[in-house]
Structure 1
Amino acid sequence: MKLTLSNLLGFGPRRLNVSKRFNLIGEVGQGSMSKVWMAQDFELGCKVALKLLDREKTSKFESRFSGLQKPSEGEVAVSLNHPNIVKTHEQGLTTDNLSFLIMEYIEGHSLAYHVGQVAEKPIHARLDWVQQIGSALAHMHDAGWIHRDICPRNIMVSNKSQTKLIDFGLAIPDRPEFRRPGNRTGTANYLAPEVIRRQPTDQRVDVFAYSITCYEICTGELPWERARSLDAAIQHLNLPAKPLLQYVPDFPIPVADVIMRGIATNPDERWNSMEDMNAAMRDAIDCSP
C-alpha cells in the first residue's frame, strides 16, 4: 500500500457499510467467487446490483499472480465506459473487509437464458446482439484488458434488447507478464486451444470465446458437443468445429464465414483483433440479403 498522510493518520479510503447504505432486496446471482444482490442504494437513490466477493476464494485466485500487482475486478470494471458494458459506480472494501462492486441493475436475463430460444428471433435481431457484444469487447481490449471468460452466462440482455458484458473477475492486463502460459482459466466450452496446451496467450483467446458465443446466438448450439470440464475443451484440440450452416442452412454465408474464422484452432488463423473481426462482421452483414 502506498503511504500517504491519510494512511499515516489512520484514515484512507472510506469503507462501505452495507447495512447502512443498502436495503438488500434479494440475491440475483452467484459465481464461483462472489454473490450479487439486488439492492436499494440510499446514497445513489436507485436500485443497483451489489457484488460481494468471497475473501478466501478471491485470495486463492490472486495467489496465481504471485509477484505481480494484478488489478482487482473492481479496478478493471470502473476503468470501462461503454454502453454495452455494465456500469460500475463504485468499488472498494466493506467494513467486513470484503471487496465490493456497486453496479447498475439490469432488468432482463442473461444471454444464456436466451440462447435456447434464438430460433424465435429473426436473424437481424441475433446479429444486432453479435455486434453489440463485439463492440463492448473491442472497447475492453482497447482499454488494455483481456476478459478471459466470454460466454453467454457473462452477458446480460436487458428488456430493451441491449446487451451488457459483465463479470471481470478473471480479467488481466494485456501485458506479457500476465499472458504467460499456465492458468487454464475460463469456461470449458469456450476455452481456446492454446490455453489447454499451456501456450502463450493474448486477446485472441477472447476472439475465440466471442466467436463461439456468436455461433451459439445464431444457431442455439455449440460448434462442438457440449461437455463438462476439460472434456469440452479437449474437443477444441482434436475435432473440427461443425459448420454453422449445418444448423441454419439459410444463414448469410459471409457472416457464417466471419464467425467460423474466429473459432479456428490455430490462433494465427483467427481474426488478429476484435477491431478486425468487427469490421469484417459489419461488411458481411451489409452485403447479406
Structure 2
Amino acid sequence: MTQSATRSGAPERVGRFELLVPIGTGGMATVYLARTRLIADTYRYAALKILHQKLAADDGAGLADLVAEAKLASAIRHPNVVPVLSVEEDEPWVALVMEYIEGETISGLIRAARAKGERIPQPIVGAMIADVLAGLHAAHEATDGGKRLDLVHRDVSPQNVIVGLDGRSRLTDFGIAKIDRTNATATGLVKGKTGYMAPEQIAGLKLTRAVDIWASAVVTWELLAGERLFHGEPMPTMLRIVNEIPARLRTIEPSIPESVDEAVAQALAHDPSKRPATADAFRKILVDAWGNLADPAEVGRYVQALSGEKLDRRRAQTEEILDLRARMTTVTRHAEASARDTSSSKKAPGDLPTRLESGPTTAPGETGFASTGSLRRPGRTRALGLGIAALGVVAFGVWMVTRSGANVAASPTTPAREASSSEAASRIVVFSSKRPIVAVRVAGRTVESPPALTLGVPVPTGAHEAEVVAADGERASVSVPADASQVLVPLEPATSAIEPSASAGAAASARPTGRAPGRLQPPAKATAAPKDPGLAPPPY
C-alpha cells in the first residue's frame, strides 16, 4: 500500500539548534528533538516545534498562532507545564523551543498498556491526573503585568500530556489556547479534539476554564475505564456529547471507588456551573477520593517499563544521525583540504622549471629519439600527486561511511561509475521513519540498507519526490524540498515491530542481486542484530 506524503522536510539546523529526530507530528507542526552547543562538547537538548511550511506560507495565521502560543506559554511557570524557552527564527523556518522531557504522552502509555492487555494502575492514574490539574490551574491563574489572562487551554487531551521518566506529568501544547480572534479553524471546525470538547464548546458559547475541567474529566474517565468515552465521526460524536449524559465509571469498571466515580461525574456535568469551580478544586476532590496515590518514583518506573524500548530506539536513532553527520563532515573537510593543497601547488603559466631531473634513458628506435634526461615541472608533478591523494581520501571516506553501517549504502543495482558533476552537487538527506526502512528511490537512483529507522541518501540539489520501502514491504511517497536535509517518512509503527539492524554488513550480503535496474524490488528479510543497551539518555 502506498501512502502519500503529508509532511514537509526539515532543515538540519534552525537558528542555534541542530535538529536530530522527529518525536511527534500533528496537523499544524512537527516536534523535533534538537540540541545546541553550550561549550566545547557540552550540549543542551530541547524540543523544537516547527510549523509545517505550507501553513506558515499561506496567510501567516499559522505563524501568528505559533508566536501567540509562545507568549501564552511563557507566562506560565509551573513544574507541571512544559516550559517554553524561546522562539528561533531562521528564514523560512520558525521554531518554538521547549524543554525536552524524556518520557511518553498519556496517549502513548494507554496504547502501550493496551498492547500488554492491561490498564494503567489506579494509583498511577491518580498521580498523573493530579499533576495535570495542578498545571492546568497554574495556566488558568497565569498573569501578565499583574493582570490575570483568563487563559483557556481548549485542547486538554492524552496527546498533550507528557509523563516524564522523573515521574512528573506536564501539560503542553498551548497552540489553540484562547486567543482574542476566533474559535474556528481554517476548515471552519471548532478548535480542539472532538472527543474532549465540552458541550458549550461545541455550541459555540463563551469559553471559560470549565471547558478544560470537562476535558480533564474525560481523560480521567478514559484512563480508569480503559476505553474512549466519546469516539467516532466528528458530527455524531458532537451530537452525543451535547445530548447524552456520560456513562458512570462504575458501570464500566466496578472496582473504581464510588467517591472517584462521583467526582468524575460531577466534572462531566452538562451545566458548567455544576462542575468544580477550578482545576485545583477538582484535583483536591480526586486526591481525597483516592487517598493513596503513587509517588513520582513509582510513576517513573512505570513509564520506563511501558516505554523504555521506544525511548531506547529514539536514542539509537539520534546516535545514528549524529554519527552519519560526523562522518560526512570528516569526508568533506578532507576533500576541501586536499583541494586547497592541490590548488596552492600549481605554478602560473609560463613559469620556467627550476632544475633538471634525471629520467630513464630510452633506447633508440623505441620512441624515435634517445634522451639522457627529461625536463619536468616539479609543481605540476606534485599537483598531480596531491590530486590523486585527494580522490583517494574522498573515496576512502565514502567507503568508510558505507561500511560502518551509517546507512549510506550504494545500491547493488547501480553500476559503479565515475562521479559526474551533478552528483558532486548532491547533499545528504536523512530519511527518518517510525517503521524500519530498507530502500529509498530518489532522482532515478535506489539506495538500500538493512532495516533501520534512519537512512542517509545522497540527493541531487533541488526538490524531488522519493519512494520509501519499509522492511515489511509497505511503501510511502514523500516530497524532498530543495533545502531539506532531513525528511520524515509517513510510516506509522507496525503492529509487530521489526527491530533495525545494528550492522549494515551482516545483512547486506544476504540480499539477492540480479534485480532489474532502476526498479524497487520487494526487500529481502534481514536478521535483526541485538540492540545496543548502553545508550545513555541525552542531558538537558
TM-score bin, normalised by smaller chain: 0.7 to 0.9
Query: Would you say 1:238 and 2:243 are equivalent positions?
Result: yes
Q: Tell whether the 8 Å contact from 1:179 to 1:202 is kept in structure 2 after alignment.
A: no
Residues 159/228 of structure 1: CA separation in 2 closer, same or farther (3 Å cut): farther
Residues 196/61 of structure 1: CA separation in 2 closer, same or farther (3 Å cut): farther
The residue that corresponds to 2:358 in the other structure is none
Residues 20/238 of structure 1: CA separation in 2 closer, same or farther (3 Å cut): closer
Deviates more, 1:203-212 or 1:151-160: 151-160
The residue that corresponds to 1:89 in the other structure is 85
The residue that corresponds to 1:52 in the other structure is 50
Residues 85/60 of structure 1: CA separation in 2 closer, same or farther (3 Å cut): farther
Determine helix, strand or coil for the equivalent of 1:72.
helix
Residues 178/245 of structure 1: CA separation in 2 closer, same or farther (3 Å cut): farther
- CA shift at 1:274, angstroms? 1.1
The residue that corresponds to 2:268 in the other structure is 263
1:238-283 CA distance string (max 9 Å, x none): 2221111122101111111111111112212222221221222232
Give the aligned residue type for 2:154. Answer: R
Residues 236/95 of structure 1: CA separation in 2 closer, same or farther (3 Å cut): same
Residues 126/229 of structure 1: CA separation in 2 closer, same or farther (3 Å cut): same
State which of 144, 157, 170 in structure 2 corresponds to 1:164: 170
What pairs up with 1:190-201 in 2 under 5 angstroms?
190-201=196-207
Query: Would you say 1:105 and 2:92 are equivalent positions?
Result: no
The residue that corresponds to 2:22 in the other structure is 27
Question: Greater helix share, 1 or 2?
Answer: 1
Rg comparison, structure with higher value? 2
Give the aligned residue type for 2:133. Answer: G
Query: Would you say 1:132 and 2:131 are equivalent positions?
Result: yes
1:198-230 CA distance string (max 9 Å, x none): 222211111111110111121222333x21323
- CA shift at 1:150, angstroms? 0.4
CA–CA separation in structure 2 for the residues paired with 1:29 and 1:286 = 35
CA–CA separation in structure 1 for the residues paired with 2:66 and 2:33 = 28
TM-score scaled by structure 2? 0.45
Give the aligned residue type for 1:232. Answer: T
Q: Tell whether the 8 Å contact from 2:123 to 2:292 is kept in structure 1 after alignment.
A: no
CA–CA separation in structure 2 for the residues paired with 1:261 and 1:36 = 35
The residue that corresponds to 2:31 in the other structure is 36
Residues 70/114 of structure 1: CA separation in 2 closer, same or farther (3 Å cut): closer
Q: Tell whether the 8 Å contact from 2:250 to 2:261 is kept in structure 1 after alignment.
A: yes
The residue that corresponds to 1:142 in the other structure is 141
CA–CA separation in structure 1 for the residues paired with 2:271 and 2:123 = 30
TM-score scaled by structure 1? 0.81
Determine helix, strand or coil for the equivalent of 1:271.
coil
- CA shift at 1:194, angstroms? 0.8
Q: Tell whether the 8 Å contact from 1:18 to 1:94 is kept in structure 2 after alignment.
A: no
State which of 212, 216, 234 in structure 2 corresponds to 1:210: 216
Query: Would you say 1:228 and 2:270 are equivalent positions?
Result: no
Residues 274/20 of structure 1: CA separation in 2 closer, same or farther (3 Å cut): closer
- Which structure 2 segments of 5+ residues have no match? 1-11, 143-148, 294-540
- CA shift at 1:185, angstroms? 1.1
Q: Tell whether the 8 Å contact from 2:103 to 2:165 is kept in structure 1 after alignment.
A: yes
- CA shift at 1:63, angstroms? 5.4
- CA shift at 1:285, angstroms? 2.4
Q: Tell whether the 8 Å contact from 2:132 to 2:171 is kept in structure 1 after alignment.
A: yes
CA–CA separation in structure 1 for the residues paired with 2:174 and 2:108 = 20
Q: Tell whether the 8 Å contact from 1:180 to 1:200 is kept in structure 2 after alignment.
A: no
Residues 62/211 of structure 1: CA separation in 2 closer, same or farther (3 Å cut): farther
CA–CA separation in structure 1 for the residues paired with 2:140 and 2:59 = 22
CA–CA separation in structure 1 for the residues paired with 2:257 and 2:16 = 50
1:92-130 CA distance string (max 9 Å, x none): x51215432111112121110112427443211111111
What pairs up with 1:239-254 in 2 under 5 angstroms?
239-254=244-259
1:112-167 CA distance string (max 9 Å, x none): 01124274432111111110111110111011311100000111112233211111
Q: Tell whether the 8 Å contact from 2:183 to 2:191 is kept in structure 1 after alignment.
A: no
CA–CA separation in structure 1 for the residues paired with 2:58 and 2:198 = 23
CA–CA separation in structure 2 for the residues paired with 1:60 and 1:209 = 31
RMSD between superposed Cα atoms in Å: 2.9
Residues 238/52 of structure 1: CA separation in 2 closer, same or farther (3 Å cut): same
- Equivalent pairs: percent with the same residue? 24
Residues 242/267 of structure 1: CA separation in 2 closer, same or farther (3 Å cut): same
CA–CA separation in structure 1 for the residues paired with 2:196 and 2:58 = 23
Residues 187/59 of structure 1: CA separation in 2 closer, same or farther (3 Å cut): farther
Query: Would you say 1:286 and 2:291 are equivalent positions?
Result: yes
